Amino acid sequence: MRSLAPAAALAKMISVALAMAAFAQEGPGLGIEATPEEVAQWDISIQPNGEGLPPGSGTALAGQPIYTLHCFSCHGAEGKGQLNDVLAGGHGSLDGPAPRKTVGSFWPYATTVFDYIRRTMPYQQPHSLSDEAIYALTAYLLFLNGIIEEDEVMDARTLPEVRMPNRDNFILAYPPGARQKPRQQRAP
């Protein structure tokens, strides 16, 4: 086989380089750009300090019937005793031989309970409940764990103020130097 003449080889290299540059600039041309409305639907993260919590409010009393309707089948009465994750109890068990991690015994921030339920539950139909219902369900789970009273109103102001029992046992590794010693877990 005859090798390409140097000029032809150079021209080929240049055309390949140009094609690669165009590809890098424009991308592979897959998919369509998300609209701001579509991004907003997924941009729903809530920070530990409550940033991102929507308007609305709820109590455990309001949450109990919603729980019975939408959550009971998988999580059982009072968040215990069904096949799926146990949501209540386990307090003080984490440093023992049979640790039981639940929303109440393990999770460091109450705002995560709201975020998690809104993002993922009910399992088979996420994003189907209103923010009011999510506040009420969050309050109900906190109540089942003995963390708040059944008539305490949870909203964007009060939820971040709830102190979870295991809050101090998470160690901050970053930034370096921020490492704290874990403290003994307190029972609620």
Q: Is the CB of 15 or the CB of 47 nearer to ligand HEC? A: 47
Structure tokens at 64: 């109990």
Q: Residue from 53, 60, 62, 87 that binds ligand HEC (CB under 6 A)? A: 87
Site stretch for ligand HEC (CB under 6 A), options 27-35, 40-48, 73-81, 143-151: 73-81
Q: Is the CB of 107 or the CB of 156 nearer to ligand HEC? A: 107
Please state, in angstroms and rounded to a whole number, the distance separating the CA atoms of residues 180 and 171. 6
Residues in the chain: 188
Alpha carbons within 13 A on the beta-carbon side of 182: 12
Q: Is the dihedral of CA 73, 75, 77, 83 positive or negative?
A: positive
Q: Residue from 57, 73, 93, 158 that binds ligand HEC (CB under 6 A)? A: 73
Name the minimum Å distance from CB 11 to ligand HEC. Answer: 56
Q: Is the CB of 61 or the CB of 74 nearer to ligand HEC? A: 74
Q: Is the CB of 56 or the CB of 122 nearer to ligand HEC? A: 122
Structure tokens at 74: 């998988």
Contacts of 104 (CB under 8 A, 6+ apart): 87, 88, 89, 90, 91, 141, 142, 144, 145, 146, 147, 164, 165, 188
Show the site string, 109-148: x = touches ligand HEC by CB under 6 A, - = not.
-------xx---xxxx------------x-----------
Interacting residue ranges for ligand HEC, rule: CB under 6 A: 70-71, 73-75, 84-85, 87, 102-103, 116-117, 121-124, 137
